[in-house]
Amino acid sequence: MPLRIIIQEGTAMSEGIPLLILALGTLGVVWFLAAAARKQVADAKGAPERSNVIRDHGGAPRQNMPGTEH
Residue 42's pLDDT is: 77
Number of domains the chain contains: 1
Mind listing the pLDDT tens digit for each residue in 13-53? 555 678 888 889 999 999 999 999 888 887 777 765 655 55
Residue 15 within any structural domain of the chain: no
Q: Which residues contact 16 (CB under 8 A, 6 or more apart)?
A: none
Confidence at 7, pLDDT banded by 50, 70, 90: low
Range of the domain at 45: 28-57
Whole-angstrom Cα Rg for the chain: 25
Count of C-beta atoms within a 10 Å radius of residue 13? 13
Residue 66 within any structural domain of the chain: no
How far is 10 from 63, CA to CA, in rounded Å? Answer: 64
Alpha-carbon 10 to chain mean position: 31
Residue 38's pLDDT is: 85
